[in-house]
Chains A and B, each alone.
Chain A
């Protein structure tokens, strides 16, 4: 099989983030260096060491979109549907006759249980390891619908049903790399000829109590900040953790020939994809960033792109001490002396960390940047860290024509993905 047989282009896109209800608004606010982070309003955070996050206004959602599936749809699913709606319209997918030629690939993890769920479950637990499952089943209180909302595959399933996409239906669940891996899997499916069109992206909404507790327990969230807006500070010396956020993004990826045949507008090209595993420690990144290095090298090799051709790096840049330092090391390892010349920025400084959605949101913002000749900034960059000594596009976006970029995503546990994105050239 020759992986150069087919070119994969982007013919539609959509997103919803704390920075904006759609791609245009998110990109505009990101260009202006705004932050989407604020104090959490959706649940009581009193007592928690981190009380901030990136929340999306309910007014931006369209519950009607889920229709009869709304009972099964997690908040992450609703976010994804909103982004797909935008992408679907932009790509004109309604006019595609063969629906078996449209697939879905999504990075998603499903909902967390709520405190209410836990309290309810307690009624059927004797505290000594014994459960009254009969009572639990008969009660119907911890409902079947709650279980469904926790299933990651409900997001692509509901999306496929609503948008009548009958091709491959894939869900990736690889933590913070899930969105990028979903795009990578879609890219491969088109290259292989399994589907001509893939709606690919990521969705996540774990800005809830148990989501926070999890990452607070792991000491991963920012706990020291003057204002919510200044808490996410990738590559800055005073960074001390990431900021949890929610969001979704979807790309309509298409076989070039198919896109040309139907006169679709082409917004860019996915040039290559690489993924690796650290295989180091569950709670730590490989100290030399071997996995990150491997993912970047593989994406460039797959794209047949040299390090000299790369003009921008959209960093994973979580704002944790460990990630930002090791990502810097990895970029230096891959790009050598060029590392200091290439602008690098982290969208998480403005949006926060959207976990499974991050890779997709950042891939799309990178693509928009290429089309608009804008390199988005890393905001809250105030105190340079001697260990992070590259060009992180501090605080202000720059205008610059650029044609080829990479977007990094590194998942908790040690899964890494990198996507190489390019301007569409005939």
Chain B
């Protein structure tokens, strides 16, 4: 039997909203979050949009600025919101778990480049002898912290005094649902009493953007409408975080906490389809069926599906086929990436937040399925149920 957990707190940061409140309204109002890249300066890729956080929402403390990346701050802010609402401070530090998917962590080139610049020859080529002997001394001593994926979670654990079961997953798009499931499992196994779980995207930076663009051009993705007219080359890259406070439903009830939704089932699989450059249909079907079975829910009971892909696009053909085979043509399907862009590792967690939001927006939605896949062939699915 699946270790069902209650979502008692939600923390969200995205270009749609800062916080969970207002998320659904912003989503249904189709708030425009796309920003064209500023041509000729910082970013200058032609015809490319991004969905960045509004400047000023997350502020760096000067002392922490050099060792904290933007992703660390997004994780901390979302975690604080979820932890506060779920009253996790009532639990002993050792009884609180923490499971998060963290997007790719990029080197701060500003930290590394001085060493390169110091070692350049007149012709612009690097003099390796200078670099190895003294150029490297230009590096900031705590620079290595930026290369470790787990540091953001550790920084946040320190802030929130979380000392229990934990794990960092990285950086598949499916890893956020994996993290939520691991938290449920840990609570079910009584390895922790309550947990924070979710994901943070990678920060939008020159390197992450180039990686994103190259990755998608490589796949030949040429989809997604641009709300400002015309066509974008690819789905805009977005940044943000979504974190949930989880605990056993009975405990949440005892503590008088609001239960937003129940995490009721999970499934995962792996198979790559070379023809479409993503997960194979049978892997998608496998993870969906596992999650339904774990949740003891029939396919007809699912009211809404948050798909990983835009299923009307060529890249979504396998997911569309799997959904049709399992649900027929009667289920509502939402693709949030059309509105918010692609949060990569945080995409699945963000869709869990949206699914929870729709359950609390007056709609008759009792059961939702969320899919999150990786371009490499991983598939994960989670079933959320409204608490009766």
CB within 8 Å of B: which residues of A?
1, 3, 44-48, 100, 103-104, 109, 112-113, 115-116, 118-119, 121-123, 125, 127, 129-134, 136-137, 142-144, 147, 150-154, 157, 160-161, 165-175, 178, 181, 184-185, 188, 191-192, 194, 209-210, 213-215, 217-218, 274-283, 290-291, 294, 298, 302, 411-415
Known: A157-B374, A160-B270, A279-B158. A134 touches B44 (CB 8 A): yes
26 A-B contacts (beta carbon < 8 Å): A1-B3, A116-B126, A118-B116, A119-B125, A119-B126, A122-B116, A125-B109, A137-B45, A137-B214, A154-B376, A160-B270, A161-B272, A168-B178, A169-B172, A170-B169, A172-B169, A194-B268, A194-B290, A209-B132, A214-B147, A217-B144, A277-B163, A278-B154, A283-B142, A294-B94, A415-B166
Q: Are B139 and A173 in contact (CB under 8 A)?
A: no
**List of A residues within 8 angstroms of B168 by Cβ:** 172-174, 178, 181, 415
Known: A1-B1, A3-B189, A45-B132. A279 touches B110 (CB 8 A): no
**List of A residues within 8 angstroms of B211 by Cβ:** 144, 147
**List of A residues within 8 angstroms of B117 by Cβ:** 122, 127
Q: Are A276 and B166 in contact (CB under 8 A)?
A: yes
Q: How far is the CA of A385 from the CA of B150 in the complex (A)?
A: 32
Partner of B133, one of A3, A47, A142, A283: A47
Given contacts A168-B268, A169-B268, 14 further A-B contacts (CB under 8 A): A1-B188, A113-B107, A118-B116, A119-B116, A125-B109, A153-B172, A154-B376, A157-B270, A167-B269, A188-B189, A194-B290, A279-B157, A282-B151, A298-B191
Whether a CB of chain A sits under 8 angstroms from the CB of B215 is yes
Closest Cβ–Cβ distance, residue B98 to chain A (whole Å): 6
Partner of B112, one of A118, A127, A218: A118
Q: How far is the CA of A188 from the CA of B182 in the complex (A)?
A: 9
Partner of B270, one of A47, A167, A415: A167
**List of A residues within 8 angstroms of B374 by Cβ:** 153, 157
| CB-based nearest A residue for B125 | A119
| CB-based nearest A residue for B126 | A119
A-B contact count (CB 8 A): 255
Whether a CB of chain A sits under 8 angstroms from the CB of B134 is yes
Closest Cβ–Cβ distance, residue A201 to chain B (whole Å): 15
Q: How far is the CA of A169 from the CA of B271 in the complex (A)?
A: 10
Q: How far is the CA of A280 from the CA of B215 in the complex (A)?
A: 38
Q: Are A137 and B210 in contact (CB under 8 A)?
A: yes
Q: Which positions 160-191 of chain B face chain A at CB distance < 8 Å?
A: 160-172, 175, 178, 182, 185-186, 188-189, 191
| CB-based nearest A residue for B165 | A275
Partner of A160, one of B126, B169, B209, B377: B377
Known: A122-B116, A217-B141. A157 touches B150 (CB 8 A): no
Q: Are B150 and A411 in contact (CB under 8 A)?
A: yes
Q: Which positions 98-119 of chain B face chain A at CB distance < 8 Å?
A: 98, 102, 104, 107, 109-110, 112-113, 115-117
**List of A residues within 8 angstroms of B170 by Cβ:** 152-153, 171-173
**List of A residues within 8 angstroms of B116 by Cβ:** 115, 118-119, 121-122
Whether a CB of chain A sits under 8 angstroms from the CB of B327 is no
Q: Are A277 and B218 in contact (CB under 8 A)?
A: no
**List of B residues within 8 angstroms of A218 by Cβ:** 141-142, 144
Closest Cβ–Cβ distance, residue B357 to chain A (whole Å): 28
Q: Are B163 and A144 in contact (CB under 8 A)?
A: no
Q: Are A131 and B206 in contact (CB under 8 A)?
A: yes
Partner of B191, one of A165, A181, A302: A302
**List of B residues within 8 angstroms of A279 by Cβ:** 93, 154, 157-158, 160-163
**List of A residues within 8 angstroms of B163 by Cβ:** 276-279, 290-291, 294
Whether a CB of chain A sits under 8 angstroms from the CB of B131 is yes
| CB-based nearest A residue for B272 | A161
Q: How far is the CA of A385 from the CA of B319 in the complex (A)?
A: 61
Closest 9 CB pairs of A and B: A214-B144, A413-B154, A173-B149, A47-B133, A157-B376, A173-B170, A119-B126, A144-B214, A131-B206
User: Interface on chain A toward B: helix, strand, loop, or mixed SS?
Assistant: mixed
Q: Are B167 and A174 in contact (CB under 8 A)?
A: yes
Q: How far is the CA of A285 from the CA of B162 in the complex (A)?
A: 15
Q: Are A133 and B189 in contact (CB under 8 A)?
A: no
Q: How far is the CA of A1 from the CA of B188 in the complex (A)?
A: 6
Q: Are B209 and A133 in contact (CB under 8 A)?
A: yes
**List of B residues within 8 angstroms of A113 by Cβ:** 107, 112
Partner of A168, one of B132, B139, B270: B270
Known: A144-B218, A280-B158, A414-B154. A215 touches B144 (CB 8 A): yes
Q: How far is the CA of A173 from the CA of B191 in the complex (A)?
A: 20
Q: How far is the CA of A100 from the CA of B378 in the complex (A)?
A: 12
Q: How far is the CA of A166 from the CA of B268 in the complex (A)?
A: 9
**List of B residues within 8 angstroms of A100 by Cβ:** 269, 286
Closest Cβ–Cβ distance, residue A111 to chain B (whole Å): 11
Partner of B46, one of A134, A165, A210: A134
Q: Are B154 and A118 in contact (CB under 8 A)?
A: no
Whether a CB of chain A sits under 8 angstroms from the CB of B213 is yes
| CB-based nearest A residue for B190 | A3
**List of B residues within 8 angstroms of A150 by Cβ:** 104
**List of B residues within 8 angstroms of A414 by Cβ:** 154, 157-158
Scan B14-28; emit 1 where CB is below 8 A from any A CB, else 0: 000000000000000
Closest Cβ–Cβ distance, residue B385 to chain A (whole Å): 17
Whether a CB of chain A sits under 8 angstroms from the CB of B136 is yes
Closest Cβ–Cβ distance, residue B176 to chain A (whole Å): 13
Interface centre among B93, B145, B150 (most CB of A within 10 A): B150
Whether a CB of chain A sits under 8 angstroms from the CB of B67 is yes
Q: Which positions 285-317 of chain B face chain A at CB distance < 8 Å?
A: 286, 290
**List of A residues within 8 angstroms of B165 by Cβ:** 274-276, 298
Known: A44-B128, A133-B209. A169 touches B378 (CB 8 A): yes
Whether a CB of chain A sits under 8 angstroms from the CB of B62 is no
Q: How far is the CA of A178 from the CA of B185 in the complex (A)?
A: 19
Closest Cβ–Cβ distance, residue A70 to chain B (whole Å): 16
Known: A47-B134, A122-B113. A277 touches B166 (CB 8 A): yes
**List of A residues within 8 angstroms of B331 by Cβ:** none
Known: A218-B142, A282-B154. A133 touches B45 (CB 8 A): yes
Q: How far is the CA of A157 from the CA of B46 in the complex (A)?
A: 32
Partner of A157, one of B149, B153, B164, B378: B378
Whether a CB of chain A sits under 8 angstroms from the CB of B60 is no
Q: Are A1 and B189 in contact (CB under 8 A)?
A: yes
Q: How far is the CA of A133 from the CA of B45 in the complex (A)?
A: 6
Q: How far is the CA of A275 from the CA of B165 in the complex (A)?
A: 5
Q: How far is the CA of A87 from the CA of B330 in the complex (A)?
A: 46
Known: A3-B189, A118-B112, A290-B163. A130 touches B41 (CB 8 A): yes
Q: How far is the CA of A134 from the CA of B233 in the complex (A)?
A: 14
Q: Are A276 and B128 in contact (CB under 8 A)?
A: no
Closest Cβ–Cβ distance, residue B92 to chain A (whole Å): 11
Known: A173-B169, A213-B136. A277 touches B113 (CB 8 A): no
Q: Are B377 and A157 in contact (CB under 8 A)?
A: yes
**List of B residues within 8 angstroms of A213 by Cβ:** 136, 139, 143-144
